[in-house]
């Protein structure tokens, strides 16, 4: 209660010194069309998808991911797959669920298997540039070609039409994409597919893989994202995600987990006679030994030791692994993927230590702890500034991001540029980032989500959250309000070298690009020779906007 009173008092005492802004912002950049980067060959397919229910745009309904009457209808997905000839029964798969780390773990594991020479299909979501990124194929891991995707769509369009009619129009955007991904994997005769669950696990559209087709399941982490959709508690989330565990098939648990959550997962594994490998077991050790730069690319040098003796027996000792994916959370994802690859080796798959090392070292994902090059920074007129883009959007991922910036740029002046969806825990996210080093500036902005504005959080509301979080943590702030069409000018604001030195400037901006420029203006009021780091975060959607702005 005291922090709320302080917040209100601050607003009252400083209101006369600020320019107020209407709660409705009309000057923010419009969201990129989610398909503006698509090849013209995909026009018919994209138009078709646009007419389907897209929960990435509208938000997921309450209870949708639970094993209840409110949950998504897996029967509908099974009926669609039957019409397509059940392609998901024609390849082996590793199924990955979890609150965070699914995409990175899938990328690590896919690259390990490719380095061994396997043809791998990988299905993930969401995408940054093109919907084709969600489906990668072959020994090189290239996105499915527009020609192949368009050809398949026209081959099965009549079947999709029939399914949609049978289901009274309830088949979703994600269900169609999942069905086509499985069909492509079957047509291309992949050796193995690595499948990332979309939401939860038990009722997710990807969860139609039978135990006979499952090589292993992986649960990376359990956190409080999508609480309403997954039952309202950490326990219900764990139950939903444990739904990908299948009878007699090994499950890799990433973690670390709270003891009672690990128990829920282990109980489900026990009920299905599934061997368990705990990647975060204290006997498995992984450390970051240092950060380095080579050919303009940052990497972290790591040691990975796995020695499992329960349920399954496996061992590997890798030293000086050079990970391009930065942060302790990415090392944990690498450890989890390594455990999954060892599970496959235990089943007779050929997976050498050398392929594991090479696969880990050659994995890189856009928008995950990604430092832009100096040329990319110059693309938005910023020189002498380091820009880090990261799709963090939970308090757990915010902590990982804060830890990474501390490890790589402990002496840099820091600024955050943030945009977020409405269904995220904004206050927990802000508290976590502000609990680290005090930033010089926080600039809140808005971007479209999946090409739509429905799930976008207005920047003024986000700014109020960040001011509240800062005051709760005892951080002095300079809270600058502007008109929607007003350009930020340091000399016309309340900023001064003294205020920048002793307070955190919090304001809003009409675009990601403008936000980064505002941060740089504020940096210039501080120490001239101090390194500068701008962190763009809050979702992969703001990352996509930042990368588009910096394209060279």
- Say what the pLDDT of residue 526 is: 83
Report if pTM > 0.85: yes
Q: What is the reported pLDDT for 529?
A: 84
**543 within domain boundaries:** yes
At 169-178, the pLDDT tens digits run: 999 999 999 9
Note the pLDDT of residue 89: 97
**Res. 6: pLDDT tops 60:** no
Same domain membership, residue 378 and residue 241 = no
Residues 252, 388 within the same domain: no
498: confidence class by pLDDT, cuts 50, 70, 90? confident
What is the extent of the structural domain holding 216? 42-278
What is residue 36's predicted lDDT score, i.e. its pLDDT?
62
Burial of 1 (0-12, 13-18, 19+ CB in 10 A): exposed
Query: Quick one: three-class SS letters along 382-448?
Result: CCCCEEEECCCCCHHHHHHHHHHHHHHCCCCEEEEEECCECCCCHHHHHHHHHCCCCCCEEEECCCC
How much is the pLDDT for 491?
A: 64
Q: What mean pLDDT do residues 148-163 have?
A: 98
Average predicted confidence (pLDDT) for the chain? 89
| CB atoms closer than 10 angstroms to residue 143 | 18
Residue 341, domain member (yes or no): no
Whether residue 91 is contained in a domain is answered as: yes
| Inter-helix orientation angle 353-361/102-115, to 10° | 130
pLDDT at site 27: 44
Residue after which a domain boundary falls, among 261, 278, 295: 278
Tell me the pLDDT tens digit for each residue of 467-482. 999 999 999 999 887 7
DSSP H or E stretch at residue 235: helix 234-241
> How far is the C-alpha of 90 from the C-alpha of 79, rounded, in Å?
17
Neighbouring C-alpha atoms within 13 Å toward the C-beta of 37? 15
CATH code, domain carrying 376 = 3.90.190.20
Q: Are residues 379 and 260 in the same domain?
A: no
Residue 29 falls inside a structural domain: no
Counting the structural domains of the chain, the total is 2
pLDDT at 489 over 80: no
Q: Does 386 map to a domain?
A: yes
Q: Is residue 310 part of a domain?
A: no
Asked if 215 and 107 sit in the same domain, the reply is yes
pLDDT in tens, 19-73: 333 333 334 443 344 556 789 999 999 999 999 999 888 888 888 898 887 889 9
Q: Are residues 270 and 376 in the same domain?
A: no
Task: Based on the fold, state whether residues 374 and 270 are members of the same structural domain.
Answer: no
Last residue of a domain, one of 238, 255, 278: 278
Give the pLDDT of residue 15: 33
> Final residue of a domain: which of 255, 278, 301?
278
* Per-residue confidence band for 446, with pLDDT thresholds at 50, 70 and 90: very high
Percentage above 90 pLDDT, the chain: 74
Render pLDDT for 186-210 as a digit per residue (tens, 0 to 9): 999 999 999 999 999 999 999 999 9
Answer for the pair 401, 535: CB distance below 8 angstroms, yes or no.
Answer: yes
Q: Is residue 111 predicted with pLDDT exceeding 90? A: yes
Closest to 131 in 3D by CA, of 34, 196, 47, 58: 34
The CATH number of the domain holding residue 146 is 3.40.1190.10
For residue 26, tell me if it sits in a domain.
no
CA distances from 385 to 64, 358, 409, 432, 528 (A): 43, 32, 12, 24, 12
Does residue 260 form part of some domain? yes
Residue-wise burial string across 8-41, b where 16 or more C-beta atoms lie within 10 A, e elsewhere: eebeeeeeeeeeebeeebeebbebbebbebbeee
Q: How many residues does the chain have?
A: 552
| Residue 374 and residue 235 in one domain | no
Same domain, 237 and 378: no
Q: Do 263 and 377 fall into the same domain?
A: no
Q: Kindly report which listed range (54-63, 94-103, 308-317, 433-442) carries the lowest average pLDDT score.
A: 54-63
Q: Are residues 270 and 399 in the same domain?
A: no
Check whether 552 has a pLDDT greater than 70: no
Are 84 and 159 contacting, i.e. CB atoms less than 8 angstroms apart?
yes
Does 392 lie in the same domain as 263?
A: no
Strand, coil or helix: 263: helix
CB atoms within 10 A of CB 479: 22
- Residue 451 CB neighbours (<10 A): 17
pLDDT tier for residue 499 given thresholds of 50, 70 and 90 = confident
- Segment 207-253, tens digit of pLDDT: 999 999 999 999 999 998 888 899 999 999 999 999 999 999 999 99
Please name the helix (run of DSSP H) or strand (run of DSSP E) that holds residue 159, with its range, or none.
helix 146-166
Interval 342-396: pLDDT, tens: 999 999 999 999 999 999 999 999 999 999 988 889 888 898 899 999 999 999 9
**In the numeric block, which tokens belong to residue 109?**
């594991």
Residues 525 and 406 in one domain: yes
8 A C-beta contact, residue 206 and residue 196? yes
């Amino acid at each position: 209660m005291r922090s709320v009173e302080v917040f209100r008092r601050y607003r009252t005492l400083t209101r006369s010194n600020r320019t107020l802004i209407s709660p409705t912002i009309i000057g923010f950049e419009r969201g990129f069309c989610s398909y503006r980067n698509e090849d013209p060959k995909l026009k018919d397919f994209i138009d078709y998808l646009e007419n389907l229910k897209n929960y990435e745009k509208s938000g997921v309904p309450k209870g949708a991911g639970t094993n209840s009457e409110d949950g998504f209808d897996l029967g509908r997905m099974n009926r669609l797959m039957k019409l397509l000839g059940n392609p998901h029964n024609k390849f082996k798969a590793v199924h990955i669920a979890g609150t965070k780390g699914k995409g990175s773990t899938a990328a690590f594991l896919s690259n390990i298997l490719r380095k061994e020479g396997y043809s791998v299909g990988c299905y993930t979501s969401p995408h940054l540039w093109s919907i084709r990124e969600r489906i990668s194929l072959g020994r090189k891991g290239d996105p499915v070609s527009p020609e192949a995707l368009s050809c398949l769509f026209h081959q099965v369009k009549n079947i999709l039409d029939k399914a949609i009619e049978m289901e009274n129009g309830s088949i979703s955007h994600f269900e169609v994409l999942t069905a086509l991904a499985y069909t492509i994997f079957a047509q291309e005769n992949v050796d193995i597919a690595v499948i990332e669950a979309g939401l939860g696990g038990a009722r997710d559209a990807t969860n139609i893989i039978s135990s006979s087709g499952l090589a292993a399941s992986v649960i990376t982490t359990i956190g409080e994202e999508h609480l309403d959709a997954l039952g309202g508690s950490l326990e219900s989330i764990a139950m939903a995600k444990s739904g990908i565990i299948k009878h007699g098939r090994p499950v890799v648990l990433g973690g670390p987990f709270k003891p009672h959550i690990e128990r829920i997962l282990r109980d489900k594994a026990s009920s299905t006679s599934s061997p368990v490998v705990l990647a975060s077991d204290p006997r498995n050790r992984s450390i970051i030994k240092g950060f380095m730069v080579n050919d303009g690319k940052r990497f972290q040098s790591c040691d990975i030791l796995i020695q499992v003796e329960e349920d399954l027996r496996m061992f590997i000792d890798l030293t000086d692994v050079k990970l391009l994916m930065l942060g302790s959370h990415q090392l944990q994802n690498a450890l989890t993927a390594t455990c999954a690859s060892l599970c496959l080796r235990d089943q007779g798959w050929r997976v050498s230590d050398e392929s594991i090392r090479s696969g880990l070292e050659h994995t890189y994902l856009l928008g995950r702890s990604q430092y832009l090059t100096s040329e990319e920074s110059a693309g938005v007129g910023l020189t002498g500034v380091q820009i880090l883009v990261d799709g963090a959007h939970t308090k757990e991922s915010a902590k990982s991001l804060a830890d990474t910036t501390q490890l790589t740029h402990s002496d840099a002046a820091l600024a955050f540029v943030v945009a977020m969806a409405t269904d995220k825990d904004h206050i927990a996210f802000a508290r976590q980032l502000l609990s680290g080093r005090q930033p010089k500036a926080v600039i809140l902005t808005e971007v479209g989500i999946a090409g739509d504005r429905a799930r976008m959080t207005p920047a003024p509301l986000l700014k109020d959250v960040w001011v509240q979080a800062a005051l709760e943590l005892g951080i002095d702030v300079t809270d600058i309000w502007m008109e929607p069409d007003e350009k930020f000018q340091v000399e016309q604001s309340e900023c001064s070298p003294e205020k920048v030195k002793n307070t955190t400037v919090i304001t809003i901006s009409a675009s990601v690009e403008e936000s980064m420029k505002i941060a740089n203006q504020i940096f210039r009021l501080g120490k001239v020779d101090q390194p500068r780091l701008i962190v763009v975060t809050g979702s992969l959607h703001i990352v996509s906007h930042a990368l588009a702005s910096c394209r060279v």
